[in-house]
Amino acid sequence: MPLFGRKKDDLATSADWRERVGAPDLTRRALTEIVAELVRARGIAVEVVGDLKLRHGRHDESRLDNLWAMCQGASVPQRVALIEQRVASEVEVTAMAPATNIGSIRPIIRPDSYRADLASPCPQRLLADDLWVFYGYDLPNNIQFMTERDREQAKLSLDDLHGLAVRNLRRAMTNVKIDGTPSAREVSAGGDYESSLLLLDELWAKQASEWPAGVIAVAPTIGALYVADAGDPVAVEMILGSAHDVFESGRGLSKTMLRWTGSGWVVYDGPGSGRDLGIQNPEQIDRVAAKDGKWSVVMIQTRPWEPQGLRIDQLRRKARVYAGWIAGGGLVKMYPESKGAPVTVVLAHYDALPAAIQAVTSETKKDLGKQGIGFATLAANLATAG
């Protein structure tokens, strides 16, 4: 039995797509073929050029990565709605005349890894470190990336394009909200252009007047932006933790911490940035040691255990990363002689463990034990350790 009845506007060639999209083993290629089939059924020529990649004509290409990500964990009705919306956007993009739509151009922030996947040359400029500014057309159902061919047709230099896109963004962002604690906040603007708000200098000049020690920011996705007072390292750690949460949900793009200079952004590597040793930096393997054929992978905590809620989140996250690294072969790859040897994750701490932290260590010991990994705590004056 079909999961859904056929809609009156379905063409015969695409009548079964609702059943196929509900398959538990739906693949990237299958999703791409379904979208291409539905677009063709609306009289538009489109070619599948790879998993999650479509080509319109000789130059214009579109990617379905976001659609694929949103379909993960979605119910079948939700997948159907997402696909129908995307097909509508593909039709919309094809009908668009780029040179006459310069008022819809917006700046879009993407990490360096995105540049390697570009199907067509696109205008771009560096923001800071691994973050780049691209440009796209803000359409009712989609954001269509601008190509170099589009820019040339619009007769815009890269500087003129950037200025135009930022002005368009400024006019469109009438609902920017900054909420949170006195020193750690989330910036929201509707869910599509939060990271692009990094380009609105007036926002950060105003925030810097409130936080004279500096403004720190992290934009883990295009729709998420967190900022903190550089004078409060705990607040900086809090927004870094929020970025890690986004990554653990599978939606993350960048964890680069930025500092406002008064005229732009640079990489921030100061207190709370997660570039130092400690549970606040889950991706850093703090120390590895071996004795008598036994191996210890050490996480170091020299900071106070307050605020406990933040430290608990950091400890749990780092324990998950360590367990994944060990179970995934990271330890053996780095130290081949550790193969087959017993391994223990050790929490080396300076301050005494509060009751709430002790409860988390007990929980962590049980969780790691299920994976054949030991867990122990070690009280040590790490401030004077050699």
Asked whether residue 53 falls in the same domain as residue 108, the answer is: no
Same domain, 257 and 197: yes
Residues 370 and 291 in one domain: yes
Considering 94, 116, 138, which residue would you say is the last residue of a domain?
94
Written as one letter, the residue type at 181 is T
Give the residue from 163, 161, 217, 215 showing the smallest Cα distance to 194.
Answer: 217
Among 111, 141, 172, give the residue marking a domain's end: 172
In a domain, residue 33? The reply is yes
Q: Return the pLDDT at 355.
A: 95
pLDDT in the model for residue 383: 40
Same domain as 292, residue 371:
yes
What's the pLDDT tens digit per position in 320-372?
A: 999 999 999 999 999 999 999 999 999 998 889 999 999 999 999 999 999 99
Query: Are residues 193 and 112 both part of a single domain?
Result: no
Structural domain includes residue 6: no
* Residue range of the domain that includes 136: 99-172
The answer to whether residue 1 is domain-embedded is: no
In a domain, 275, yes or no: no
> Are residues 204 and 131 part of one domain?
no
Choosing from 267, 300, 330, the residue where a domain stops is 267
The answer to whether residue 272 sits within a structural domain is no
Residue 361, Cβ density class (10 Å: 0-12 exposed, 13-18 middle, ≥19 buried): middle
**Is 369 in the same domain as 291?**
yes
For 21, the 3-state DSSP assignment is: helix
Q: Could you give the number of structural domains in the chain?
A: 4
At 310 the pLDDT is 87
- Exposure letters 248-273 (e unless 16+ CB within 10 A, then b): eeebbbbbbbbbbeeeebeebeebbb
Query: Both 187 and 262 in a single domain?
Result: yes
Tell whether 4 is covered by a domain.
no
Does residue 64 sit in helix, strand or coil? Answer: coil
Distance CA 90, CA 127 (A): 29
**Calpha distance 315→370 (Å, rounded):** 18
Same domain, 292 and 377: yes
What does pTM read for this prediction? Answer: 0.64
- Cα distances (Å, whole numbers) of residue 375 to 13, 58, 279: 58, 57, 15
pLDDT at 3: 33
User: Tell me, what CATH number does 330's domain have?
Assistant: 3.30.750
Whole-number pLDDT of residue 172 = 92
Does residue 39 lie in a domain region? Answer: yes
* Shared-domain flag, residues 168 and 106: yes
Q: Are residues 18 and 73 in the same domain?
A: yes
Ranges of the chain with pLDDT below 70: 1-15, 57-60, 93-100, 119, 248-251, 272, 274-276, 381-386
| 274 occurs within a structural domain | no
Q: Are residues 110 and 42 in the same domain?
A: no
